[in-house]
Amino acid sequence: MDKISLKIPNKAQYLSSLRLLVSGILSSHGIDIETMEDLKIAVTEGCNIALELQCNDYIDIDFEISEEEFTILIGHICQKEIEEREELYLSTTIIDCLVDETKMIEDKMYLKKHLK
């Protein structure tokens, strides 16, 4: 299993670079374009939640990829605030539709997609 960790400023201008990184990681593992697009959208929506909440100046993102699955951990998301803010419901619904598993673990959003 390969692990990649990234820390970006909590600013929208870095999301396009993050999407390129996700594409590059998945492409190098031979992942189909449809799955790649789903995961890019899921990562973007997770980071949009972090941008909206502004719980920290940075967003920590950890990726783990194996032949069977791709997991993403997006840090610095205030779980209590997600539940209190209705406008974030659309982002969480989109994420739920695109990945196989999503949950909050200590102010981190955990996303998992099975690749096989």
Mean pLDDT across the chain = 93
Answer whether 0.85 is exceeded by the pTM.
yes
8 A C-beta contact, residue 75 and residue 108: yes
Model confidence at 107: pLDDT above 80: yes
- Do you know the residue count of the chain? 116
Task: Give the model confidence (pLDDT) of 64-94 as tens digits.
Answer: 999 999 999 999 888 777 777 888 888 999 9
Burial of 67 (0-12, 13-18, 19+ CB in 10 A): exposed
pLDDT score for 88? 87
Predicted local distance difference test score (pLDDT) of residue 83:
74
> For residue 93, which phi and psi values (nearest 5 degrees)?
-65, -40
At the topology level of CATH, where does 2-114 sit? Heat Shock Protein 90 (3.30.565)
Domain ranges of the chain: 2-114
